[in-house]
Structure 1
């Protein structure tokens, strides 16, 4: 569980050689009304030293710092294997720098100057990501289920994953558990993904259905939307595709690093 869920303060490190920026981020955080334990670093080396001694939930990292820059600090977080929700800050960021930050696991970046509302959005996203969501994977192929589950496990969201071997098995599962998300194969024997999505609506008012298929067509889209499915994932897909869909379904602001995924119009 994350700090916020356990009642402990959310641990934040703000690393920027500008005291003005550090104080602004601190003030923006406090305006959200959450309880924070905030540490400051004024160069990259100091940031890495703090990160190596203490676990931080969130890191705000300036790109242009003395000693070590923000990308090098992000690389150190990656090497440490920390699950820190890291946000870079800069007045400009090249495409090459963006790719490096994505590779090292940065969540997003803020273009300076930014405002209190943008900081609040990031905190709300952090809280949503650290919640646990029950997920059901439905596919008649055990191999495909294993692959999909591995992809979901790499998501930045905390997903508690179960599996079902076909539509009938899925219906029995949702009768027992309130799944937030159901990822189902489109083509299955006895009951395909469209039929399953239609039947699930009778049991799970709070569940969103995401269809998976190697094929996509307008016919697939129309059928999926008719039964209330929220998105289509074309196999093979990756954790970044899943993360983009979950941002959309949970009403979260997309990261600057988000991928584009085939979504349907959100129903009320």
Structure 2
């Protein structure tokens, strides 16, 4: 915790600084209001302890300055008996609390901890608000192909039902975009949309992230942590890569799914929330059930409504619309409007896109950066795409099925190139490919690239 102490009485200031630093906090201790005004301009604090009566100005002036900066600092005012009215005024101006001198150390520490809990809660709520304000354009579902039109009709039907939704599809097909679209249809007035990626968290961390923890739940748990299910209350919890969820957690997740109840780590109290769960996976969960890697009861609970997202190679008529969308989404570095040469669009429609929409988006964004002219030509397409172009369609005419390498060969080639570009760094290669590290390891084993 970053603490600011503004106190002109040297013994008290040094005492507080020593005790709070011994408790593991980062403390800046000052005697003059002018010094504090300069410091808060340069540095953010979690909690500030401000003496109202200072030699050069009132602590209330410092409070006003901190408030004007619109940061998340909570201020605690220290006051003598004669300045209690000023402390009440400070509360009206946004101070968290005030303490009357001489205050006991335990009392000061308790108020600091409560103020810090409010800081953490406000930050987490700010994250939720940012999710609500996230641009609709950036998550827009684009396309007019028959498969996308059918998908839209299905989404409109299921949006208002509280039942869980399972979205299955290859990596990069836009599963989160669909989840956000369902959420937007279900909550037109706005509600939290909170996402969690099962592939990036270990079992212990996942439970802590999902359900939160009570203060003192484990060493270092100095304050209560609000879990994602609580942040999603009244809205949608998007559980991405649910197929990667450890078996040990699947039972707890199933219980939450069925009851809406959960228990934070280290807490004896069971809590309940109203949350719509949308889960997504790039695995075939039914097969994972047969292999004993996914609980059958959880599968059937999630599979109330199932959505299959088509890969881009099965909706190629949408590629020009997607390209146009990405051109608007990623403005040219030069500020000039750009367009693609028809031959490039023809190439795009002849390529099988093993990375799906994510790969197309990356190619468009890179072409915008690399091209010097307003018209983007074949020469502006990244080198690895050129190689695939020559292999797939040297005449730029729509190829026959026999003219394509197999999808597995394309995927293997794609993974090899990602590893080459990132000098064998699997973590960076997985990020570039838009898949989880676990998924990459599975593919490396599948293609004998270990």
TM range (shorter): 0.3 to 0.5
Q: TM-score, normalised by structure 2?
A: 0.30
Q: TM-score, normalised by structure 1?
A: 0.48
More helix by share: 2
